Amino acid sequence: MPAEIRVFAPATVANVAAGFDILGFALGQPGDEIAIRRRKEPGIVLHNRTDFAAMPLEPSANTAGVALQAMLAHLGSDAGFEITFLHKIKPGSGIGSSAASSAAAVYGANYLLGEPLTRQQLVPFAMEGEKLASGTAHADNVAPALMGGFVLVRSYHPLDLITIPAPPLLHCSIIHPQIELKTEDARKVLKKQISLKDAVVQWGNVAGLIAGLLREDYSLIGRSLHDVIVEPVRSLLIPGYDRIKDAAMQAGALGCSISGSGPSLFALSTSEADAQRISAAMLDVCRACGLQSESYVSGINSQGVRVL
């Protein structure tokens, strides 16, 4: 066992249109990278060598620290760890920045402890990091970050995670408009009550999406990528949303919607060339709107977090 390992945890897209709060998938890139080593003494020590100076380094105020504390408490372990954050997904992007930190920390520490826990067993601890970051212990980012591919959160109580391998051709284009949109605010705009009629449309699409993924039926995946509940309200918080989405669809996307709670958008397609073209088309609209944006093009990450 090396004294120090480096761990990569991928960005993730939660919700996936119709799958609000229950579905997410992992990207090939971007991701978080950490270095982690055992300390001789108990306790967690965090260092920040990323571009983001604002990261809290007190373990109980840091998503990765909280996740790791929860895992060690569960194991009854007094092992100490030193974690250096090397690369960080931009916080507030909507592609699972906090989830990646938590996933990297618990996966790395579990690895150094001889893997007492499976990837799936790590999810509840990483969820504690999410709770710190956004106020709710949601699993639709941390589960795919840890387990790879698509992960369905069938139930939260009890936690029931179903892995769904990504169809091999699937590619993703991410556009991250550089606006601030807090997860808490994106939650605030949601209606607490929805119409049964809309809910029926939504669960028809969720069911279609799962069938499409399991059958590698790209047309069905595309037909099912509709969200009549959350996107109509959240998209109002993202300037130029409809035009950016239109551009993705015109450029051949299977579907396009908000990644997590935004402001990033994701679009799915069936080749890297398509994903590149879709990304370029979306960026063109952002530029025309005067909206500075970052973009990523990636396959689906079937493995999840890994030791580099």
Task: Tell me how far, at minimum, the Cβ of 13 lies from a second copy, in Å.
Answer: 16
Q: How far is the CB of 265 from a second copy (least distance, A)?
A: 22
Task: State the Cα–Cα distance between residues 103 and 231, nearest whole angstrom.
Answer: 27
Question: 44 exposed, middle or buried (CB, 10 Å; 0-12, 13-18, 19+)?
Answer: buried
Instruction: Mention every residue, 6+ apart, whose C-beta is less than 8 A from residue 174.
Output: 11, 13, 27, 95, 259, 264, 265, 266, 279, 295, 296, 297, 298
Distance of alpha carbon 35 from alpha carbon 180, whole angstroms:
28
Q: Is 270 a catalytic residue?
A: no
Looking at the Cβ atoms of 87 and 226, the one nearer to a second copy is 226
Burial of 162 from C-beta contacts in 10 A (0-12 / 13-18 / 19+): middle
Angle, helix 241-250 to helix 272-288, in steps of 10 degrees: 150
Amino acid, single-letter form, for residue 272: E
130 is catalytic: yes
CB of 195 to a second copy, least distance (A): 6
Minimum CB distance to a second copy, residue 295 (Å):
29
Closest CB to a second copy among residues 39, 191: 191
Q: Residue-wise over 119-150: b if at least 16 C-beta within 10 A, else e?
A: beebbbbbbbbbbbbbeebbbbbbbbbbbbbb
In whole angstroms, the minimum distance from the beta carbon of 189 to a second copy comes to 12
Nearer of residues 61 and 214 to a second copy, judged by Cβ: 214
What gap in Å lies between CA 205 and CA 212, rounded to an integer? 10
Query: Applying CB under 8 A, which residues contact a second copy?
Result: 18-23, 152-156, 160, 162, 164, 190-197, 199-211, 214-215, 220, 223-224, 229
Q: Which residue number, 15 or 101, has a Cβ lying nearer to a second copy? A: 15
Question: Would you give the distance in Å from CA 19 to the centre of its chain?
Answer: 13
User: Minimum distance between the CB of residue 18 and a second copy, rounded to whole angstroms?
Assistant: 7
Q: Are 187 and 261 in contact (CB under 8 A)?
A: yes
List the catalytic residue out of 33, 130, 231, 270. 130
Nearer to a second copy, 216 or 284 (CB): 216
Instruction: Give the residue with the Cβ less far from a second copy, 142 or 275.
Output: 142
State how far the Cα of 58 lies from the Cα of 76, in Å rounded to an integer: 21
The residue from 33, 183, 231, 270 that is catalytic is 183
- Active-site residues, by number, are 130, 183
